[in-house]
């Protein structure tokens, strides 16, 4: 089981407004069953990193800090402009706790993620001595997700976003959940090489997978069991769907 002795830190990406939520409230502050969605993610993150958490804030940063402060005394990084996931993690690097060896990256809008899933992910990453691990899931309808690209022997060679994917790549059903575990030194030296030369004009964190592959570093993929765990909330409809899923789970228990 997980015994990280303070060498794992979790970065939670929580800077976005979420324009599709049709609200002036920061996306991660929207409530599910009376609890801000980021509170669920913080609770899960603490299972693998204790209080070694870095929250990347942007919109309504003070309100997000106050919400998280109820649970833990976290570290914070401010992302002034939302220029992509790679840029968000760049902002977090200077405030990582000194003892950090591996960095787990979570999204603040994925509240159904289970503690056991993240523990298994980190355990596998460290046991196999990987430089970079990606948490993936198989879905029947992969549209909109980044696809996990593998070579003939199953080695991960990269992640391609929907907007940049070829027709063959769009047929891949193993998709990126946006959750990573990365060696801190590799992450620090690689983030500066990411460019925004893509269809979205953003700094994709997924580019670090391609860099690791080209260097011949050990990359692994852990496959989640339940696609529902990785639902990201980007709209009111998705918020309601996740709340219904959470309520039904409570009813079963």
119-130 per-position pLDDT tens digit: 999 999 999 999
Task: Tell how far CA 180 is from the center of its chain.
Answer: 6
Q: Which structure tokens are listed for 53?
A: 């958490």
146 burial class (0-12, 13-18, 19+ CB within 10 angstroms)? buried
pLDDT of residue 220: 93
Q: Cβ distance 81 to 39 under 8 Å?
A: no
Fold of 8-252: Spore Coat Polysaccharide Biosynthesis Protein SpsA; Chain A (3.90.550)
Q: Of residues 20, 66, 193, 247, which has the active-site annotation? A: 20
Q: pLDDT of 13-35, one tens digit each?
A: 999 877 777 778 899 999 999 99
Q: Given 3-state DSSP classes, what are the helix, strand and coil percentages for the chain, each rounded to the nearest 5?
A: 40, 25, 40
Q: Identify the burial level of 80 via C-beta atoms within 10 angstroms of its C-beta, where 0-12 means exposed, 13-18 middle and 19 or more buried.
A: exposed
Percent of the chain with pLDDT strictly greater than 90: 82
For the record, the structure tokens of 248 come out as 């039904």
pLDDT in tens, 74-83: 999 999 988 9
Can you give the pLDDT at residue 250?
72
Q: Is the pLDDT of residue 2 over 60?
A: no
- For residues 245 and 228, what is the distance between their CA atoms, to the nearest angstrom? 9
Distances (CA, A) of 14 to 169, 183, 189, 251: 29, 22, 23, 29
Identify the helix (H) or strand (E) that includes residue 222.
Answer: strand 219-223
The C-alpha atoms of residue 182 and residue 110 are separated, in whole angstroms, by 19
In this predicted structure, the answer to whether residue 253 has a pLDDT above a threshold of 50 is: no
Length of the chain: 253
What pTM, to 2 d.p., does this model score? 0.94
Q: pLDDT over 70 for what percent of the chain? A: 97
pLDDT value, residue 5: 58
What was the pLDDT predicted at 19?
A: 72
Give the 3-state secondary structure of residue 161.
coil
61 alpha-carbon distance from chain centroid: 19
120 labelled catalytic? no
Angle between helix 115-127 and helix 37-49 axes, rounded to 10 deg = 40
Contacts of 95 (CB under 8 A, 6+ apart): 54, 75, 76, 77
At 134 the pLDDT is 97
């Amino acid at each position: 089981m997980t015994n990280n002795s303070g060498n794992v830190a979790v970065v939670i990406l929580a800077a976005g407004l979420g324009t599709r939520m049709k609200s002036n409230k920061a996306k991660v502050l929207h409530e599910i069953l009376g609890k801000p969605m980021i509170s669920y993610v913080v609770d899960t993150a603490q299972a693998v990193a204790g209080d070694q958490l870095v929250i990347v804030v942007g919109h309504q940063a003070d309100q997000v800090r106050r919400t998280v402060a109820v649970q833990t005394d976290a570290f914070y990084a401010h992302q002034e402009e939302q220029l992509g996931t790679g840029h968000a993690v760049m902002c977090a690097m200077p405030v990582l706790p000194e003892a950090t060896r591996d960095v787990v990256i979570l999204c603040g809008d994925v509240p159904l993620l289970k503690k056991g899933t993240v523990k298994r992910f980190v355990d596998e990453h460290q046991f196999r001595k990987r430089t970079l691990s990606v948490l993936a899931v198989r879905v029947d309808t992969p549209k909109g997700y980044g696809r996990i690209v593998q070579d003939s022997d199953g080695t991960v060679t990269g992640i391609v976003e929907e907007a940049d994917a070829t027709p063959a790549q769009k047929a891949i059903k193993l998709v990126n959940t946006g959750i990573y575990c990365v060696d801190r030194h590799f992450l620090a030296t690689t983030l500066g090489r990411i460019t925004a030369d893509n269809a979205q004009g953003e700094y994709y964190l997924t580019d670090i997978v391609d860099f690791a592959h080209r260097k011949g570093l050990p990359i692994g993929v852990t496959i989640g069991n339940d696609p529902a765990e990785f639902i990201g909330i980007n709209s009111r409809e998705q918020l309601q769907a996740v709340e219904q899923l959470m309520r039904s789970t409570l009813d079963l228990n």
